[in-house]
């Protein structure tokens, strides 16, 4: 059963939500980009003609140079490395996302480009090599100078500002990817029947639904029944 059919069945009340959820559990087989539009080039996500045009234009020319992309990739993987739960930032295609978002939101362009350059300049001064050509130990030493805003030295403040932005973009790119959403444990975006906070969670925090709430809120078994007031 495809999702549209399932929704219809759900709507008609002919299927329980549990059935629907298992029937639509084909999510994992889908690629990162979802369905394609008519042109088959861009992900289909309800775009107007003008929006399709804008997306296509943005996809065109890259903003970052190959060297910049290499630095972004190394930085992103130091910020979000692979661990026992999920892959690294580059496994989730975060560098590609950053490459796109700076075109989509041009305010990121100058601080990112300038920040990357600042980083390379500092590495040249310290280690006589660009950031990506430094040893792993040297890269860590460099990041330790700019990754902790409250203890960083004033002379590194521009690096701190750059790294805050780089950290934000990396995290947002990772945790909005399929891999990151799974890691985070978000389990929604699917037909559901909300019947309140699970009992064990209520208990964990020392809460319960009071009588008034239970009396007035939806009884989930009534969900499919037409409402009447008379």
Partner 1 sequence: MAFEIKKQGKAYDVCIVGSGAGGGMAAKILSEAGLKVALLEAGPKYDPADPEQATQLKWSYDSPRRGASSTRPFGDFDAAYGGWQIDGEPYTKKNGTQFDWFRSRMLGGRTNHWGRISLRFGPRDFKHKSYDGLGDDWPISYEEVAPFYDRVDKMIGVFGTKENLPNEPDGFFLPPPKPRMHELMIKKAGDKLNIPVIPSRLSILTRSVNKDRSPCFYCSQCNRGCTVYGDFSSSSVLVKPAMKSGHVDLYDNAMVREVLTDDTGKATGVAYIDKTDLQEYSVNARVVVLAASACESARLLLNSKSAKHPNGLANSSGVVGKYLHDSTGSSRGGFLPMLMDRKRYNEDGVGGMHVYIPWWLDNKKLDFARGYHIELGGGMHMPTYGYGFGIHTLNGRIPGKDGKTKPAGGYGASLKDDYRRFYGAYIGFAGRGECIAREDNYCEIDPNVVDKFGIPVLRFNYTWSEHEIKQAKHMQDTFEELIHAMGGIPLGTKAGPETNYGLENPGRIIHEVGTTRMGDDPKTSVLNKYNQAHEVKNLFVVDGGAFVSQADKNPTWTILALSMRASEYIIDQLKKQNI
Other beta carbons within 10 angstroms of residue 205's beta carbon come to 8
Q: Between residues 56 and 128, which has the closer beta carbon with respect to partner 1?
A: 56
Q: How far is the CB of 219 from partner 1 (least distance, A)?
A: 7
The window from 64-72, 111-119, 125-133, 179-187 that contacts partner 1 (CB under 8 A) reads 179-187
Residues 138-177, interacting with partner 1 (CB under 8 A):
143, 147-151, 160, 163-164, 167-168, 171-177
Q: How far is the CB of 126 from partner 1 (least distance, A)?
A: 18
- Give the whole-angstrom CA distance, residue 143 versus residue 135: 12
Question: Does position 41 bind partner 1 by CB under 8 A?
Answer: no
Question: Does position 56 bind partner 1 by CB under 8 A?
Answer: no
H or E stretch including 27? Answer: none
Out of 5, 10, 60, 130, point to the residue binding partner 1 (CB under 8 A): 10
Q: How far is the CB of 160 from partner 1 (least distance, A)?
A: 8
Give residue 93's region: left, alpha or beta (phi > 0; psi -120 to 50). left
What is the token pair recorded at 65?
């140079």
Cα dist. 14→1, 9, 10, 19, 220 in Å? 14, 5, 6, 10, 15
């Amino acid at each position: 059963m495809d999702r549209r059919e399932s929704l219809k069945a759900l709507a008609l009340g002919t299927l329980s939500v549990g059935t629907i959820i298992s029937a639509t559990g084909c999510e994992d087989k889908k690629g990162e980009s979802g369905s394609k539009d008519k042109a088959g080039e861009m992900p289909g996500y309800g775009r107007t003609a003008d929006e399709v045009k804008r997306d296509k234009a943005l996809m065109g020319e890259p903003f970052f140079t190959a060297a910049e992309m290499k630095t972004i990739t190394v930085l992103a993987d130091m910020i979000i490395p692979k661990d026992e739960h999920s892959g690294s930032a580059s496994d989730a295609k975060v560098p590609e996302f950053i490459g796109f978002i700076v075109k989509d939101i041009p305010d990121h362009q100058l601080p990112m480009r300038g920040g990357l350059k600042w980083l390379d300049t500092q590495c040249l001064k310290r280690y006589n090599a660009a950031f990506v050509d430094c040893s792993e130990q040297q890269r860590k030493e460099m990041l330790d100078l700019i990754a902790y805003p409250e203890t960083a030295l004033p002379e590194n403040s521009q690096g701190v500002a750059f790294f805050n932005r780089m950290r934000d973009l990396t995290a947002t790119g990772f945790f909005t990817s399929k891999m990151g959403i799974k890691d985070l444990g978000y389990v929604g975006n699917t037909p559901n029947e909300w019947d309140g906070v699970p009992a064990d969670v209520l208990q964990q925090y020392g809460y319960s639904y009071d009588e008034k709430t239970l009396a007035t809120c939806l009884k989930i078994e009534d969900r499919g029944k037409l409402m009447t007031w008379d």
